[in-house]
Amino acid sequence: MAEKRKFKKRHCKYCEAKVEFIDYKDIKSYKYSLSERYKIMPRRLTGNCKKHQDMVAEAIKRARQVALVPYVVSRKEVVASPFDEI
């Protein structure tokens, strides 16, 4: 394999945890779906199912509006893992 895979495929964490609703105030519940630049990770990397990916995307977009998650991250502010300190 040319590129080392960061995530295992086809494994929806939310289905496994039987999550019915993702709260935008609960950063921990969707931090795995954010990249180091606070972008929403694509489904092909996280392995989330369509249903949960949509819920995560909705939650993250709401969290951005209330400034829990930044829209843009400058090069200096890039962290290895977002919300690691929480």
Q: Which CB, 18 or 75, lies closer to Zn ion?
A: 18
Least separation in angstroms between CB 74 and Zn ion: 33
Least separation in angstroms between CB 12 and Zn ion: 3
Least separation in angstroms between CB 49 and Zn ion: 3
Residues 41, 43, 47, 51: is their CA dihedral positive or negative? positive
- CA–chain centroid gap for 63, Å, is 12
> What residues make contact with Zn ion under the rule CB under 5 A?
12, 14-15, 49, 52
